[in-house]
Structure 1
């Protein structure tokens, strides 16, 4: 019996169509049916369900490129389908739209127009609490387009194998957001493997890769869990910019972060506990200033690169600072002038030698002139030593990676 289609949306005239099916269809002459629901899956932390990672996105794109070439040659049509489940539909359509932007030269609006009449759930952040912040498919597509335009990714040369290798916790849990920024989970003082198989890496595990990739600065946003001299002795500058897990960066910390990154000629590796919330927020601010991403475009791209990035109130925070970042970016046209103005500031911030390796004084300590951190800092400080949001995210990531063979 022929499969009955409740809907059929044309994506590329005469060749690529999208539909939703509750059951797998029977083969039909002249058609190529294709579904990724069981092949490319999103591994959620909490209530998040997508978008699928950049690695999965490029896996899909590579298959679609081959299928389209075959369909053109054999005069067949591609029916890409998903389950009617709203979340699976959203991920499937987002993948198809990303392929259109990355490999078919489509503008984000053009890629999404065929699906404009359909209802999709907004993508949720990696938290267990219902979130009202809306991040939609079109935001992710615009983020992809802006990333390509800004030179963050070159579709023909993207290395899917490298992406999937280094996203594994035991291989570093690191992700390139752009040629300038590498996000990773925070290293520990000692290497360990728990009875459950959870891995904790040290600075020495990262140094060879960082040197190979010309990482010249490491920024730590969480509490100290290793001696920064282990990086600086290897010739990699280190900057401590702690603020509490799950919160937004105080203005002076965000300024120091951006100033340091602007004055660094090489790549910058940024981490907090899990390399998701604080890390994504600070990198996102830089993206808005330098390449004029909207907050939603930045969050969309960050979550494609590193699922789970930017959590809870950090989403609204990025919306709030977007105009300020754009204004600052408009005034930041001459990198040479900036680099001449900042060396003194940057030199005072980097922990480059042993005498400077002691932790900076607490923001609440006498004689400290920086503005105090939010009042929750004392509580957050205690949580950082126990089970914080970042700890839980790292644990969850390792748990699903142990049960998922790509």
Structure 2
């Protein structure tokens, strides 16, 4: 593998395979990006908002230590491989947009000396060869737009846990598959969550095992009904064939709608139109789910954002 050393910003340097700044006192650190992304198949995607927050915090800490130690450069050493370099570039770009106030185009210009063959575009979770991929620039533009909207930005002294409209502690808790497997996708508007199932003996949750090893956790609708009262959810949208009795929600005062469509395809126009109307008329947050993960809700949510 050839050495890579890229000077990104006044004091930030990206290194891979031993490339280092010439004759400059520097502080070196690394961050295992792949452990922060849980793939289903061969999907490869940018890390979530919580990982971005933790990386920005790490960078701020490393920059402070560098200045206090008298070094002139902070060198982020990426592990070997295209995906590790791609993730390193993505996270450094997030830091430069959120903390250094650069634009996505500024960031892209900083990486112009990285040959495209050294990077890998992000792809979906299908088992087939993807026919559409997401570039680093696409992701940086998304971060930049979220910052412009005030959805994702540096916290203030008075609310250190709030990164814009992202509550760091709440995100970390509810994102955990053992707690809810739930994410607020459109702030103060829409949450996506793991599809509930009717469980034996009316259990709130049930752990699943594979070859004697814990695999994941299924939740009953009653578990989410209690949780949604606290979160301010008023409406549930189910995008898959029923795996629970919707009365578990409606008898507790929630609205419930079914918009079933094939999770391996784009949603039909009538389903998208109906989803928009449901969201716009909802009195509180809308909670949307598919069968297992968060894949099926993604297309209608993305269309709503657009």
* Residue pairs, 1:237-276, within 5 angstroms: 237-276=255-294
Residue aligning to 2:111: 115
Deviations 1:236-291 (A, max 9, x none): 21111111221221111110000110112321111001342220111101000xxx
- 8 A contact 2:239–2:261 mirrored in 1: yes
Residue 137 (str. 1) matches residue 129 (str. 2)? no
More helix by share: 1
Distance (whole Å) between structure 2 residues aligned to residue 62 and residue 40 of structure 1: 17
Distance (whole Å) between structure 1 residues aligned to residue 260 and residue 296 of structure 2: 10
SS at match of 2:107: helix
2:7 aligns with one of 7, 10, 31: 10
- 8 A contact 2:8–2:111 mirrored in 1: no
Residue 124 (str. 1) matches residue 120 (str. 2)? no
- 8 A contact 1:98–1:141 mirrored in 2: yes
Deviations 1:132-162 (A, max 9, x none): 3121111011111112222333442234443
Q: Measured at CA, do residues 109 and 17 of structure 1 come closer, stay the same or move farther in structure 2, by a change above 3 Å?
A: same
Distance (whole Å) between structure 2 residues aligned to residue 152 and residue 223 of structure 1: 33
Distance (whole Å) between structure 1 residues aligned to residue 138 and residue 129 of structure 2: 20
* Residue pairs, 1:159-174, within 5 angstroms: 159-174=167-182
Distance (whole Å) between structure 2 residues aligned to residue 195 and residue 126 of structure 1: 22
Normalising to structure 1: TM-score of the pair? 0.64
- 8 A contact 2:14–2:75 mirrored in 1: yes
- 8 A contact 1:216–1:265 mirrored in 2: yes
More relative contact order in 1 or in 2 (CA 8 Å, sep 6+)?
A: 1
SS at match of 1:278: coil
Distance (whole Å) between structure 2 residues aligned to residue 8 and residue 200 of structure 1: 46
Q: Measured at CA, do residues 277 and 38 of structure 1 come closer, stay the same or move farther in structure 2, by a change above 3 Å?
A: closer
1:63 aligns with one of 58, 61, 69: 58
More strand by share: 2
Residue aligning to 2:190: 181
Residue 149 (str. 1) matches residue 148 (str. 2)? yes
Residue 222 (str. 1) matches residue 266 (str. 2)? no
Distance (whole Å) between structure 1 residues aligned to residue 75 and residue 18 of structure 2: 14
Residue aligning to 2:82: 86
1:102 offset after TM fit, Å?
1.7
SS at match of 2:178: helix
Distance (whole Å) between structure 2 residues aligned to residue 195 and residue 104 of structure 1: 45
Normalising to structure 2: TM-score of the pair? 0.84
Residue aligning to 2:208: 194
Deviations 1:17-59 (A, max 9, x none): 1111269x9xx99421111137844221112223122221211
SS at match of 1:277: coil
Q: Which runs of 5+ in 2 are unaligned?
A: 156-161
Residue aligning to 2:42: 47
SS at match of 1:110: helix
- 8 A contact 2:234–2:283 mirrored in 1: yes
Deviations 1:136-189 (A, max 9, x none): 111011111112222333442234443333222221111111211111110011
Distance (whole Å) between structure 2 residues aligned to residue 38 and residue 148 of structure 1: 22
